[in-house]
Chains A and B, each alone.
Chain A
């Protein structure tokens, strides 16, 4: 009913309103152009920064002040708090940063977003920016023809800026001509009633337009053309800040638990900041008047004073809320509880993470390590070994001799329920992320996909090995028992070496050397074991059936060892130049 009748009616009314009202048409067109500009800017920065923005947000957030500073700078530069939020949510999901750092970035981002008001009130209104908008659009479009991602991105930023400038010019023109027919300033309201009503207007406008920057642009241009009263403009700015939380909450509804937690943090911050601003609006106004000369803002320049007010009340908000960041994070962690890890479900892969190449790569690597650990557990259990014993200080022979009891494990079931599902998720998300990546990123994803395949092949290999291992475990032939124990010992040697590599903090050349040396040793061991089997056949120590089983299983056991080492080279040697020196580098 609503969709079929009300929505078309609203659209019809809106259409009539625009056609009938020339000035409103210009203002609304200005808002629409401004929003297109914001969209281009956001996409342009994604391409242009080439991961630099993500790197900055990941690296420079070790303490809360650093996180706030980084959030502020990143948002001020890219002019988009929503882009910064998207990156932060994907970082959280991939566990590249913690919730405390993420909340710090969001706080800083709130101050950074006030840069838009400065941009509009200074460049936007002081100079005839429409003159600069057109060359920007022309050069921006020309740059779109480039094959280079960063160059294309720069083009998009220019187009974005061009549209933003053009949008502001239209809004300004619309308000100026509107003034000739109708003076909105007549509706100015003084006192706290006016403050509350205008806060409501600001909030509603932001919810409808879905952008506090666009609302600020309207407020500043309206204020500069004298269409609204200064104190009402301050209230509208507070309303825009409150309204943006509704936008964030709506956006977070479809997000994962990290997105929801951040939206709650954002909501709390903006409501507290809004409350402070409302209570102390007149004192803050006086503070702006006091500070304005320090920023070379003239007494009559209300637009720039509004920008200063916008920054001040957000800074005050950060100063008031940030001492409680630990308590806030503790509270946020009680919300949207972590679902119990479902069998075969990915831990780090979500749609949000896949949108950013840097996080997608990090998350896919972590998920492949998750697959590796799950498979390792299944493989060692299938070989009647326990991880606690394997990774202990006990001598290898002793571990093997003690691990005689059969471990009841249905490797087929584990493969189908856990490992295959996880593998499918890795493949699914890898394919999604590859659409967002350049050649280099695509190669790395391909490499991880092949590693995941190598890992599941090990599980398939151990299915065959397990049957004979259990069959001959309690036979009377000691030669058979000893040979299977040798295979198990070889696996322990390899797994201990890989564990040592995982914990190693030295040069990556050393890691690759260790892996390659171990591979050589596994090859030697395979040759030696096959020679032993030949000797056993010649000496009639094993029958032909046993011999064929052993020859196959030695192949499987060594294939598993080599695949473990090959996977380790991809997962724990990160530098591409070093990885390429390895034997298995065929990707």
Chain B
């Protein structure tokens, strides 16, 4: 075994990137969970609001928020995808 291989093995042993990747994945899963929860809540609120007045400013705000949450959720899932495939 040459010195490079020894160094590589030692580097692997001390490598913190795997730990960091796991932390990142856990964080993303937590974020996805929170965003999904928020999306469900918003949908329910929108149904209630639409029954009252679906042209109101409150409905417009909820609609905007739902669109943003859906976008963030999509991106969070995309960012989590490479790790899921590993």
Q: Which residues in A have some Cβ–Cβ distance to B below 8 Å?
A: 50, 142-143, 145-148, 150-151, 154, 507, 509, 512-513, 516-517, 520-521, 575, 577-578, 580-581, 583
Q: Name the one of B14, B61, B69 contacting A148, with C-beta atoms under 8 angstroms.
A: B14
Complex contacts, B27 vs chain A, CB 8 Å: 575, 577
**Do B34 and A520 touch (CB < 8 A)?**
no
Complex contacts, A577 vs chain B, CB 8 Å: 24, 27-28, 31, 79
In the complex, the chain B residue whose C-beta lies closest to that of A580 is B79
**Do A151 and B14 touch (CB < 8 A)?**
yes
Q: Name the one of A50, A142, A520 contacting B64, with C-beta atoms under 8 angstroms.
A: A520
Complex contacts, A517 vs chain B, CB 8 Å: 61, 64-65, 68
Apart from A513-B69, A578-B31, what are 17 other A-B pairs with CB-CB below 8 Å? A50-B16, A147-B11, A151-B10, A151-B11, A513-B72, A516-B71, A517-B61, A517-B65, A520-B67, A520-B68, A577-B27, A577-B28, A577-B31, A580-B79, A581-B31, A581-B72, A581-B75
Bound CA–CA A143/B76 (angstroms): 38
Bound CA–CA A143/B14 (angstroms): 11
Complex contacts, B65 vs chain A, CB 8 Å: 513, 517
Bound CA–CA A513/B75 (angstroms): 13
**Do B76 and A581 touch (CB < 8 A)?**
yes
**Nearest CB in chain B: distance from A569 CB, A:** 12
Complex contacts, B15 vs chain A, CB 8 Å: 148
Complex contacts, A151 vs chain B, CB 8 Å: 10-11, 14
Is residue B1 contacting chain A, with contact meaning CB distance below 8 A? Answer: no
Complex contacts, B28 vs chain A, CB 8 Å: 577
**Do B79 and A581 touch (CB < 8 A)?**
yes
**Do A516 and B7 touch (CB < 8 A)?**
no
**Do B24 and A509 touch (CB < 8 A)?**
no
**Nearest CB in chain B: distance from A351 CB, A:** 29
In the complex, the chain A residue whose C-beta lies closest to that of B75 is A581
Contact with A along B8-47 (1 / 0, CB 8 A): 0011001110000000100110010011001000000000
**Do B24 and A148 touch (CB < 8 A)?**
no
In the complex, the chain B residue whose C-beta lies closest to that of A146 is B11
**Do B14 and A150 touch (CB < 8 A)?**
yes
**Nearest CB in chain B: distance from A226 CB, A:** 44
Bound CA–CA A516/B16 (angstroms): 33
In the complex, the chain A residue whose C-beta lies closest to that of B67 is A520
